[in-house]
Amino acid sequence: MIALFAVTDAGRAAAAELAPALGAELHPLDDLAALWPRLDAAVFCLATGATVRLIAPLLADKRTDPGVVCVDEARRFAVALTGGHEGGANALAGRVAAVLGAQPVVTTASDAAGSTGLDELAAALGAQVVGDAAAAGTALLDGAAAVENPLGLPLPPLPPPRTGPRHVIVVTDRTGPPAQPGPGTAGPATTRVVPPTLVVGLGSARGVPASAVHDVLRRVEDEHGFDLRAVRGYASVDVKADEQGLLDAVGTLHTYPADVLAAVAVPNPSEVVRAEVGTPSVAEAAALHHGGPGAELVVEKIKGANVTAAVARVRVRGRLAVVGLGPGAADLRVPRAEAELRRASVVVGLDQYVDQVAHLLRPGTEVRASGLGDEEQRAADAVALAAEGRAVALIGSGDAGIYAMASPALEKAGDDVEVVGVPGVTAALAAAALLGAPLGHDHVLISLSDLHTPWPVIEQRVAAAAAADLVTCFYNPRSRDRHWQLGAALDAFRAHRPPATPVGAVRQAGRPGQRVWTAPLADFDPAAVDMLTTVVVGSSTTRMVGGRMVTPRGYRWA
């Protein structure tokens, strides 16, 4: 039982709106103590201070106390006050906020990122919700939904179950169980999340009416049990591109040349069709071809009145997001990186980077953190998890594609994995912004680490950059075991550039302890540089202006 309490007119008005949505009732404040032991939750349309004073004498144990949510008079916030996890107040705050158009306020650590809601689950898959979305959504947030995923789609993280399921959510392109068990019948209710996994191929005679097309499509649902809401596209052969009946029935028709369709292996080819249109199959071949590599036929050609249809299901693939987190500061992390962290059910990365974003992860996210040096293994793990069908985020600092995890991962990933790259602010950009405008003209990045590259190759590239008058950013410039390389590199530049050429260095850009300094090339001391530093050597036109390093846009007016 959920009880509502309010004392002012505004509070009572809010409670009146909440009552039907929560299946709750408004009670006089005087009844609070008597009701308390029987309550699952209580919503107070009162200030937090007043609420705290009211419930303080009643609070006993967080495992048994009801969850308490507070709503301010102006309905701006729904605050989960006590019993966030055990009492379900966090989830309730979300429901209350949704009803009132308020902001849920959740302060328990693990839920700070909020759970994946039903609408987000659907959005992540591009799916439609069919059924009682409100009941399914509430059950999901309450940890009372069983999510079934027979197609093996890469689902986002789901709130861990807290109670036995009272609702089943099935991710499927099949039409649902015919009757939804309602109150009083056995078994939990079912809601379907219908992803766009199907392609329908269509063939027809000239002048087919739209009604005949609708009839054959209805049979896809009624006789074969596939939900037309799961159709991502309709396909046919080029000569049907202007077939009015098809267009009227399905809107957009993707068409392919007959010789392309003729090359598709199908179970039911026809010589009659080949003689007419130049391909032995239209419906089956178009469905398979538009479905892309790995698509499989789930409904073989069915014949209606002058129209044929076949259905292919696209290959379901796991998802690998390769995500750069930027140099460290939260506000230098792009919003899409955070969205991908919420989308992933497994996050793979170096422990220090995983720690950096732990508060952004949704409850239910699996974390695979490992120590320095395991780079190849980390990449292999991430790819293997995605190949199993999971939604994986492989994270790295700066940009994940620059001297980082993207290449070892994508060297291993086949086309059975969907890959999404999210760029990050790389060290050179973070450093350049702190130094001024050193990258205003042509520049190059060079890593001085000989872990992956032999020193003679690095040396050659350094010499070429020096000779080409390129502004040069050194990554991995110097470590305890590699102490002389930066000095050697700077000597190569001294042979080509004036002694006053500015050299900039940034240590721990965007992190605590950030340090920025510059010196003329003649004097720059490599000893102050370590592995947490990026060094930027100016070109012959780079100069110091107002204490900042500036490389002019061009030479013409320099």
Binders of ligand SAH among residues 308 to 367 (CB under 6 A) are 327-328
Report whether 538 contacts 501 (CB < 8 A). yes
132 Cβ contact list (under 8 Å, min separation 6): 180, 189, 191
Q: Provide the strand spans (E) within 424-532.
A: 436-437, 443-447, 471-475, 502-507, 515-520
Provide the minimum distance between the beta carbon of 551 and ligand SAH in the complex, in angstroms, as a whole number: 19
| Per CB under 6 A, 427 contacts ligand SAH | yes
Backbone conformation region of residue 452, classed left if phi is above 0, alpha if psi is from -120 to 50, else beta: alpha
Binding-site member from 205, 531, 545, 558 for ligand SAH (CB under 6 A): 531
Are β-strands 543-545 and 548-550 bridged in parallel, bridged antiparallel, or unpaired? antiparallel
Q: Could you say which DSSP state residue 58 is in? A: G
Binding-site member from 44, 77, 226, 475 for ligand SAH (CB under 6 A): 475
How many Å apart are CA 132 and CA 137, to the nearest integer? 8
Range in contact with ligand SAH (rule: CB under 6 A) among 201-209, 303-311, 382-390, 396-404: 396-404
Range in contact with ligand SAH (rule: CB under 6 A) among 178-186, 262-270, 395-403, 545-553: 395-403
Which tokens belong to 485?
């390389």
Provide the minimum distance between the beta carbon of 375 and ligand SAH in the complex, in angstroms, as a whole number: 11
Binding-site member from 92, 509, 536, 549 for ligand SAH (CB under 6 A): 509
Instruction: Compare residues 511 and 543 and give the one whose CB is closer to ligand SAH.
Output: 511
Range in contact with ligand SAH (rule: CB under 6 A) among 29-37, 105-113, 330-338, 507-515: 507-515
Provide the minimum distance between the beta carbon of 456 and ligand SAH in the complex, in angstroms, as a whole number: 21
Provide the minimum distance between the beta carbon of 497 and ligand SAH in the complex, in angstroms, as a whole number: 21
270 Cβ contact list (under 8 Å, min separation 6): 280, 281
Q: What are the b/e assignments for 472-502, b being 16+ CB within 10 Å?
A: bbbbbbbbeebeebbeebbebbbebbeeebb
Provide the minimum distance between the beta carbon of 343 and ligand SAH in the complex, in angstroms, as a whole number: 21
| Per CB under 6 A, 458 contacts ligand SAH | no
Q: Which of 383, 405, 395 is nearest to 343 (CA)?
A: 395
Binding-site member from 226, 403, 493, 524 for ligand SAH (CB under 6 A): 403
How many Å apart are CA 475 and CA 430, to the nearest integer? 12
| Per CB under 6 A, 510 contacts ligand SAH | yes
| Per CB under 6 A, 469 contacts ligand SAH | no
| Per CB under 6 A, 397 contacts ligand SAH | yes
How many Å apart are CA 439 and CA 539, to the nearest integer? 9
Range in contact with ligand SAH (rule: CB under 6 A) among 262-270, 290-298, 407-415, 426-434: 426-434
SS3 state of residue 33: helix
Q: How many residues bind ligand SAH (CB under 6 A)?
A: 25
Binding-site member from 80, 360, 392, 404 for ligand SAH (CB under 6 A): 404
| CA–CA distances in Å: residue 274 to residues 261, 282, 355 | 10, 9, 61
How many Å apart are CA 539 and CA 305, to the nearest integer? 74
Which tokens belong to 508?
């721990």
Q: Which of 303, 221, 241 is nearest to 270 (CA)?
A: 303
Instruction: Compare residues 210 and 532 and give the one whose CB is closer to ligand SAH.
Output: 532
Instruction: Compare residues 132 and 530 and give the one whose CB is closer to ligand SAH.
Output: 530
Sign of CA dihedral 202, 203, 207, 208: negative
Instruction: Compare residues 198 and 325 and give the one whose CB is closer to ligand SAH.
Output: 325
Instruction: Compare residues 146 and 445 and give the one whose CB is closer to ligand SAH.
Output: 445
- Measured at the CA of 50, the angle between CA 49 and CA 52, to 5 degrees, comes to 65
Instruction: Compare residues 336 and 511 and give the one whose CB is closer to ligand SAH.
Output: 511
Binders of ligand SAH among residues 113 to 152 (CB under 6 A) are none
Provide the minimum distance between the beta carbon of 434 and ligand SAH in the complex, in angstroms, as a whole number: 9
Q: How many CB atoms lie within 10 A of CB 509?
A: 27
Range in contact with ligand SAH (rule: CB under 6 A) among 103-111, 294-302, 458-466, 527-535: 527-535
Binding-site member from 402, 413, 503, 536 for ligand SAH (CB under 6 A): 402
Provide the minimum distance between the beta carbon of 24 and ligand SAH in the complex, in angstroms, as a whole number: 50
| Per CB under 6 A, 268 contacts ligand SAH | no
How many Å apart are CA 241 and CA 250, to the nearest integer? 12
Which tokens belong to 81?
């006050």
Binding-site member from 197, 204, 356, 534 for ligand SAH (CB under 6 A): 534
- Collect contacts of 166-172 with beta carbons under 8 A, ≥24 apart: 166/139, 167/135, 167/136, 167/139, 167/140, 167/191, 169/118, 169/121, 169/136, 169/139, 169/140, 169/145, 169/193, 171/125, 171/127, 171/147, 171/195, 172/148, 172/227
Rg over alpha carbons for the chain, rounded to the nearest Å, is 31
Instruction: Compare residues 105 and 435 and give the one whose CB is closer to ligand SAH.
Output: 435
Instruction: Compare residues 19 and 532 and give the one whose CB is closer to ligand SAH.
Output: 532
Range in contact with ligand SAH (rule: CB under 6 A) among 161-169, 198-206, 235-243, 425-433: 425-433
- Footprint of ligand SAH (CB under 6 A): 327-328, 396-399, 402-404, 426-427, 431, 475-477, 506-511, 531-534
